[in-house]
Each structure stands twice: as structure tokens, then as C-alpha cells.
């Protein structure tokens, strides 16, 4: 089911006839809300934002809250990054984040502060469709000493201010962070 939803959203974005008067570059300034579904039973919501501080430096923040049965899982990323436009269509980025996680479950409750670094790229296929991917390293002591995961996203721009996204996340070493999200963003 998850893969079918993701494939449908990506297909709609690819074959959409939408045209925009936007420039071809990626819109890094945005606020996004999303529905998240991890594993078979866990789901929740997320809020994220990214704002350019200069032509190349940006601030990024992400909050997500997931529930699975009686367990709640909150995580926060906040940091700064650097982006470089390699061409009109491709932008590379890297950022370093402070990472906080809080797990509240009947068996165990724990929280930890660590760090996360990620590197990735954004490819603007046309004015309406954008693809991005990243690799993330997270260091914390709640689940394991460190984790690595990758994230693939397709974004469809309705107009210059609004977009819809579908994201797939997969942990290299574990299955607990595997899942997808669908979201809506406002670009400023």
C-alpha cells in the first residue's frame, strides 16, 4: 500500500501538465506539514522549515511526532547548512544539525541529544517537478549509537507558492525508520 501511494504521487508529478512561471532553481525557503507513516503500525505528523540566511547559507528545522500503540516518539532537528547551485537545474547541499529524540513507551522512556549531518542534492526536472535525495547520519544513544538513512523525495509545484511532496525514507541498518510521508509546503 505504501509503495502504491508513493508511486501514484510520483507518477502524477511526472506526467502532470502543470506549467509555472517559476525559475528553474530549487525553492529552498519553505514551511511544510506532512503525514508520516513508519513501519506497519506507526504514523504521525511532521513540520519542517528552511530559510535562506544568505545566498548560500540556510537555517533548517524539522519536528516529527509518531505514535505506535502506547508509544510516542518525538524528534527534532535544527541546524545550518550550505547549498551550492551547480547548474540551473541541480543544487547540492550539506547541513549539520542538533538532534533531540524523546521516546515515551510503557516499557521504556528515554531521551537524548545528539547531532545529525546530511548531504544531498535537488534536481529540478521542469518548473513543476523536482526530485531530491539525501543521506543522513544521526548520532544518539536512544536506539543505537548511530544510524544512517537515505531519503528520496518527489515534489510537484502547484504554483510558485505551494507544492505537494512524497518522500520515502529507509534506514541502512534498521527497519524502524523505514516509511514514507506525504506533505504540502508553502514557499516564500
Domain boundaries, the chain: 2-22+35-187
Closest CA to 63 of 104, 100, 103: 100
| 3 state DSSP class of 186 | strand
Tens digits of per-residue pLDDT, 13-54? 444 434 343 444 567 899 999 999 986 668 999 999 999 999
Q: What is the mean pLDDT of residues 159-186?
A: 90
Tens digits of per-residue pLDDT, 83-127? 999 999 999 999 999 999 998 988 888 888 999 999 999 999 999
pLDDT for 185 beyond 90: yes
Q: What is the mean pLDDT of the chain?
A: 85
C-alpha 98/C-alpha 90 separation (Å) is 27
Query: Cell triple for residue 151?
Result: 531519503
Q: What angle do CA 182, 100, 133 make, to 5 degrees?
A: 40
Cβ atoms of 48 and 61 within 8 Å: the answer is: yes
Q: Record the pTM.
A: 0.82
C-alpha 61/C-alpha 78 separation (Å) is 4
pLDDT of residue 105: 87
C-alpha 10/C-alpha 153 separation (Å) is 9
Residue 16 main-chain phi, psi, to 5 deg: -70, 145
User: What topology is assigned to 2-22+35-187 in CATH?
Assistant: Porin (2.40.160)
Q: What angle do CA 180, 89, 149 make, to 5 degrees?
A: 30
Cβ atoms of 9 and 154 within 8 Å: the answer is: yes
- Cα of first residue to Cα of last residue in the chain, in angstroms, is 33
* Best-predicted range by mean pLDDT (33-42, 50-59, 65-74): 50-59
pLDDT of residue 131: 98
Amino acid at each position: 500500500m505504501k509503495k502504491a501511494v508513493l508511486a501514484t504521487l510520483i507518477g502524477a508529478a511526472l506526467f502532470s501538465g502543470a506549467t509555472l512561471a517559476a525559475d528553474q532553481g530549487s525553492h529552498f525557503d519553505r514551511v511544510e506539514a506532512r503525514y508520516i507513516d513508519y513501519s506497519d503500525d506507526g504514523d504521525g505528523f511532521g513540520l519542517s522549515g528552511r530559510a535562506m540566511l544568505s545566498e548560500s547559507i540556510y537555517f533548517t528545522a524539522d519536528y516529527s511526532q509518531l505514535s505506535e500503540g502506547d508509544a510516542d516518539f518525538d524528534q527534532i532537528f535544527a541546524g545550518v547548512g550550505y547549498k551550492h547551485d551547480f547548474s540551473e537545474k541541480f543544487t547540492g547541499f550539506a547541513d549539520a544539525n542538533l538532534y533531540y529524540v524523546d521516546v515515551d513507551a510503557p516499557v521504556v522512556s528515554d531521551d537524548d541529544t545528539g547531532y545529525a549531518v546530511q548531504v544531498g542534492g535537488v534536481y529540478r526536472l521542469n518548473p513543476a517537478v523536482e526530485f531530491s535525495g539525501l543521506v543522513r547520519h544521526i548520532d544518539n544513544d536512544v536506539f543505537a549509537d548511530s544510524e544512517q538513512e537515505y531519503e528520496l523525495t518527489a515534489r510537484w509545484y502547484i504554483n510558485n507558492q505551494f507544492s505537494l511532496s512524497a518522500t520515502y525514507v529507509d534506514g541502512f541498518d534498521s527497519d524502524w525508520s523505514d516509511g514514507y510521508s506525504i506533505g504540502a509546503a508553502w514557499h516564500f
